[in-house]
Amino acid sequence: MFRNALGKTLRFLGYTVQYGCIAHCAFEYLGGIVVCSGPSMEPTIQSSDIVFSENLSRHFYSIRKGDIVIVKSPTDPKSNICKRVIGLEGDKVCTSNPSDFLKTHSFVPKGHVWLEGDNLRNSTDSRCYGPVPYGLIRGRICFKTELVLGASLLSCLSGEMLSCVSSVLEVCNSACWSGAVSEGSQ
Amino acid sequence: MFRNALGKTLRFLGYTVQYGCIAHCAFEYLGGIVVCSGPSMEPTIQSSDIVFSENLSRHFYSIRKGDIVIVKSPTDPKSNICKRVIGLEGDKVCTSNPSDFLKTHSFVPKGHVWLEGDNLRNSTDSRCYGPVPYGLIRGRICFKNTESLMLQKAP
């Protein structure tokens, strides 16, 4: 009877490890749901918004300028941050504050990206801690859910995802700010 | 017969994905074998040495000064580099070359580490590209070749 219980426990543990590993790889390589907090990406992403992030782009090195990415924080490795990619390696970026009179520029070093929040007045980003290594990027945000009068509205954050989910096309086209979101780097 | 073959193929794919995920998680969270190349860690690690790296320390944030770590390169995200941790966040490190007359020092920023190769004359490390964020660390080297000896810490 004891051996029976032991066998069952081990089998249960085996299945847990097995499906835990598969779930982990799914989150790591496909994508997952992320809850954002903080004001640095307003008005694009409000605090406690739920977003979908896909993790394939970073493995295929296809992160583009203007993408919103989830990045492991360079100042605190235990937390993640959510910012927009303003410049890729080799790009010229403005490193001074918007209120400064004299603008300073620099080039993004090889293997790094320049991140800024959409809410420039209330965002600690690359203007504070400098360019961020590409290796810290965890994923790219592609969808955001927004609760409007009890109904959920899926809003497209990237033009590339339009071809993947056809049922969301009509919703995205009618969302007047979807264009503003994908071109928010200007 | 076609449905039989299709079923078998899907089952085979299912098992491949299943055990692929388990193997990936084992490498990611436990450790694995790494082949090092390059002269920057001589004489501790020679080129094409086989070392065993454990990946638990970085998840428990227990990387210590003097550890040899595998790090995703800050200048090339597709490759890894192998260096020794000289300073953790808040430590004071010497940023000038050994041959310089005037020594310059700086403090390692929060969330970063300072890496240097053991072969200081032939190593591109933090003295070139600055402090490296902790999040880029992949694992810590604990054994070299088949000898079960702990790698000596730098004096």
- Model pTM score: 0.78
From the candidates A53, A57, A83, A155, which is the catalytic residue? A83
Q: What confidence category does residue A98 fall into, taking pLDDT thresholds of 50, 70 and 90?
A: low
- Does residue B40 have an active-site annotation? yes
CB A116 within 8 A of CB A125: yes
Report, as an integer, the average pLDDT of B19-40.
Answer: 87
Q: From the centroid of its chain, how far is CA B35?
A: 11
How far apart CA A62 and CA B139 sit, in angstroms, is: 26
Tell me what ipTM this predicted complex has: 0.82
Render pLDDT for A46-85 as a digit per residue (tens, 0 to 9): 888 888 999 988 888 999 999 999 999 999 999 999 999 9
CA distance B39 to chain A (A): 22
Q: How far is CA B88 from the centre of its chain?
A: 15
Mean pLDDT of B34-44: 86
Question: Rounded distance, CA A174 to CA A3, Å?
Answer: 62
Q: Which of B53, B57, B83, B123 is catalytic?
A: B83
Q: What is the pLDDT of residue B121?
A: 87
Contact A133 B61 (CB under 8 A): no
Window from A88-97, A176-185, B27-36, B120-129 with minimum mean pLDDT: A176-185
pLDDT of B99 higher than 80: no
Question: Is A24 within 8 Å of B22 when comparing Cβ atoms?
Answer: no
Range with the largest mean pLDDT of A71-85, A97-111, A132-146, B132-146 = A71-85
Tokens of A34: 């992320």
Q: Does A74 touch chain B (CB under 8 A)?
A: yes
pLDDT tens profile B62-96: 999 999 999 999 999 999 999 999 999 999 998 87
